[in-house]
Structure 1
Amino acid sequence: MIILFWILIFVLLYSYLLYPLLVGFLAIIVGKNRKELHIPDEKDMPTITLLVTAYNEEAVVDAKIKNSLELKYPSEKLKLLWVTDGSDDDTPNKVSGYNEVTLMHSEERRGKIHAMNRAAQSVETEIIVFCDANTYLTEDTLLQIAKHFQNDKVGCVAGEKQIFKDGDTAAGAGEGLYWKYESWLKRLDYKFNTTLGAAGELFAVRRELYQPVESDTVLDDFIISLRIASKGYIVAYEPKAIAREYPSFSVSEEMKRKIRIAAGGFQSIGRLKKLLNPFNNARLTFQFVSHKIFRWLVCPLALLLLIPIHAMVIYFNPEIPLYAYLGIAHAFIYVLAVFGWLFEKSKLNLSFIYLPYYFIITNIAQLQGFMRYLKKSQSVNWERARRAR
Structure 2
Amino acid sequence: MKLLIELFLLLMLLAVFYTYLGYGLVIYLIVRLRNLMGKKRPVPNDSSFVPDVMLVVPAYNERDCIDEKVNNSLALDYPSDKLHILFVTEGSTDGTTELVEQYAATNPRVHVMGGRQRLGKIEAVNQAMHGIKAPFVIFTDANTTLNSASIKHIIRHFADPNVGAVAGEKRIQLLSSEAAVGSGEGLYWKYESFLKRLDTELYSVVGAAGELFAIRTELYEQVEKDTLLDDFVISLRIAERGYRVVYEPDAYALERPSFSVGDEKKRKVRIAAGGFQAISRLQPLLNIFRYGWLSFQYTSHRVMRWAIAPFCLPLILVLNALLLTLPGNGLFPDTVYQGLFVAQLGFYSAALLGYYLEDRQIRVKMLFVPYYFSFMNGCALLGYVRYRRGNDNGIWEKVRRAA
- TM-superposed CA distance for 1:380, in Å, is 0.5
Q: Does 1:184 align with 2:184?
A: no
Q: Distance in 1 between matches of 2:31 and 2:135?
A: 31
Give the 3-state SS of the residue equivalent to 2:337 in structure 1: helix
Candidates 73, 77, 91, aligned match of 1:68: 73
Partner residue in 1 for 2:115: 106
**Contact map agreement 2:34 2:40 (CA 8 A) in 1:** no
Give the 3-state SS of the residue equivalent to 1:98 in structure 2: helix
Q: How does 1:224-243 map to 2 (within 5 A)?
A: 224-243=234-253
Q: Does 1:13 align with 2:43?
A: no
Q: Does 1:35 align with 2:42?
A: yes
Change in 2 beyond 3 A, CA 1:70/1:22: same
Q: Distance in 2 between matches of 1:350 and 1:166?
A: 15
**Contact map agreement 1:85 1:104 (CA 8 A) in 2:** yes
Aligned letter for 1:286?
Answer: F
Between 119-128 and 167-176, the greater mean CA deviation after superposition: 167-176
Q: Distance in 1 between matches of 2:288 and 2:9?
A: 29
- Structure 1, unpaired ranges of 5+: none
Candidates 255, 267, 289, aligned match of 1:245: 255
Between 168-177 and 342-351, the greater mean CA deviation after superposition: 342-351
**Contact map agreement 2:205 2:247 (CA 8 A) in 1:** yes
Aligned letter for 1:261?
Answer: I
Partner residue in 1 for 2:387: 373
Partner residue in 1 for 2:232: 222
Q: How does 1:51-62 map to 2 (within 5 A)?
A: 51-62=56-67
Between 73-82 and 95-104, the greater mean CA deviation after superposition: 95-104
**Contact map agreement 2:226 2:395 (CA 8 A) in 1:** no
Q: Does 1:350 align with 2:364?
A: yes
**Contact map agreement 1:53 1:83 (CA 8 A) in 2:** yes
- The share of aligned pairs that are identical, in percent, is 43
- TM-score (normalised: structure 1): 0.96
Give the aligned length: 387
Question: Could you list the per-position Cα deviations for residues 140-190 of structure 1 after superposition, in whole angstroms to 9, with x for gaps in the alignment?
Answer: 000100110111111100000000116511221111011111111111111
- TM-superposed CA distance for 1:361, in Å, is 1.5
Q: Distance in 1 between matches of 2:327 and 2:316?
A: 16
Q: Does 1:292 align with 2:302?
A: yes
**Contact map agreement 1:83 1:115 (CA 8 A) in 2:** yes
Q: Does 1:154 align with 2:163?
A: yes
Q: Distance in 1 between matches of 2:42 and 2:286?
A: 29
Q: How does 1:234-273 map to 2 (within 5 A)?
A: 234-273=244-283
**Contact map agreement 2:225 2:393 (CA 8 A) in 1:** no
Q: Does 1:117 align with 2:126?
A: yes
- TM-superposed CA distance for 1:36, in Å, is 3.7
Partner residue in 2 for 1:141: 150
- TM-superposed CA distance for 1:349, in Å, is 4.3
Change in 2 beyond 3 A, CA 1:212/1:381: same
Give the 3-state SS of the residue equivalent to 2:249 in structure 1: strand
- TM-superposed CA distance for 1:344, in Å, is 0.9
- TM-superposed CA distance for 1:210, in Å, is 1.0
Q: Distance in 2 between matches of 1:317 and 1:187?
A: 48
Give the 3-state SS of the residue equivalent to 1:128 in structure 2: strand
Aligned letter for 1:6?
Answer: L
RMSD, aligned CA: 1.5
**Contact map agreement 1:259 1:369 (CA 8 A) in 2:** yes
Q: Distance in 1 between matches of 2:281 and 2:9?
A: 32
- TM-score (normalised: structure 2): 0.93
Give the 3-state SS of the residue equivalent to 1:279 in structure 2: helix
Partner residue in 2 for 1:78: 83
**Contact map agreement 2:92 2:118 (CA 8 A) in 1:** yes
Give the 3-state SS of the residue equivalent to 2:85 in structure 1: strand
**Contact map agreement 1:92 1:103 (CA 8 A) in 2:** yes
Partner residue in 2 for 1:92: 97
Q: Does 1:45 align with 2:55?
A: no
Change in 2 beyond 3 A, CA 1:311/1:166: farther
